């Protein structure tokens, strides 16, 4: 078990005739040296790890900043595209409305022209009927006035 600073501080050595027990002191110092070396190695490893983590953190911060800028640019581009699409849609709607009005006006003009043709044909038909009726009546009148209208048919027996 590694020594703590409190262990080092509270360590008491037994006294012998010539002072502290040399083996105990040497053993304790060996243990202090081992633990101190382990702490130093651990400290160096942590320093290296910390430096690597700081470097990675800087990379991530740079990446985060780049991503933020990219996101802002993407949002701006999306807004621009949306506005442009909206403008194009409005232009298309206006063109479609204009085309529709033009088509309706043309259709109405065509309907009027067809209606006029229909009225003209109807009038012509009425004149034709009247002329035919007049001719038929004239022919009937001629038939009734004819001298042979009263003759009886000859039988062929």
In the chain, the percentage of residues whose pLDDT exceeds 70 is 85
- Extract the tokens encoding 82: 């949306």
pTM, full prediction: 0.44
Do 149 and 143 form a contact (C-beta atoms < 8 A)?
yes
Over 60: is that where the pLDDT of 150 sits? no
User: What pLDDT, on a 0 to 100 scale, did the predictor assign at position 28?
Assistant: 81
Report the C-alpha gap between 14 and 38 in whole angstroms.
27
133 — pLDDT class (breaks 50, 70, 90): very high
């Amino acid at each position: 078990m590694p020594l703590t600073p409190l262990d080092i501080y509270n360590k008491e050595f037994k006294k012998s005739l010539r002072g502290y027990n040399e083996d105990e002191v040497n053993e304790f110092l060996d243990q202090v040296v081992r633990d101190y070396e382990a702490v130093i190695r651990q400290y160096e490893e942590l320093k290296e790890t910390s430096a690597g983590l700081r470097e990675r953190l800087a990379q991530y911060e740079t990446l985060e900043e780049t991503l933020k800028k990219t996101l802002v640019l993407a949002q701006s581009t999306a807004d621009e595209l949306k506005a442009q699409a909206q403008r194009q849609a409005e232009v298309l709607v206006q063109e479609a409305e204009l085309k529709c009005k033009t088509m309706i006006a043309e259709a109405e003009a065509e309907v009027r022209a067809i209606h006029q043709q229909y009225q003209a044909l109807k009038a012509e038909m009425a004149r034709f009927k009247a002329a035919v009726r007049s001719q038929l009546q004239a022919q009937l009148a001629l038939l009734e006035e004819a001298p042979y209208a009263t003759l009886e048919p000859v039988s062929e027996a």
